[in-house]
């Protein structure tokens, strides 16, 4: 048989965990919207107007910029290597 006391505490734990995740998602969405409205033309990371939004948890943009630069450099290197092979 199913023990309803354990089921109830399990259910409460899952609900609490989902509530924490929802709050984190809400805060990051608000910070992301604030960040994107203040920085419409993202050219350089040093010139951001609202750095507190990044410091609050949106480090994705920094990492994304580094990833984009790395991919761009790798594609340039691949093109250069292909031109030298041909």
Break the chain into its structural domains and give their ranges: 4-85
Q: Is the confidence at residue 6, as pLDDT, over 80?
A: no
CB 32 within 8 A of CB 42: no
Weakest mean pLDDT among 15-19, 52-56, 64-68, 79-83? 52-56
- The stretch 60-77 carries a mean pLDDT of 77
Band (pLDDT 50/70/90 cuts) for residue 85 is confident
In this prediction the pTM is 0.42
Q: How far apart are CA 85 and CA 70, in angstroms?
A: 22
Residue 72, both tokens: 């761009």
Residue 51: φ, ψ to 5°: -80, -20
As a whole number, the mean pLDDT across the chain is 74
CA distance readout (Å), 64 to 7, 60, 67, 68: 42, 6, 5, 6
């Amino acid at each position: 048989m199913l023990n309803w006391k354990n089921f109830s505490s399990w259910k409460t734990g899952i609900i609490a965990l989902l509530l924490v995740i929802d709050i984190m998602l809400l805060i990051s969405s608000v910070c992301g919207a604030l960040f994107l409205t203040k920085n419409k033309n993202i050219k350089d990371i040093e010139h951001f107007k609202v750095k507190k939004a990044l410091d609050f948890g949106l480090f994705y943009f920094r990492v994304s910029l580094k990833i984009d630069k790395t991919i761009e450099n790798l594609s340039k290197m691949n093109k250069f290597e292909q031109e030298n092979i041909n």
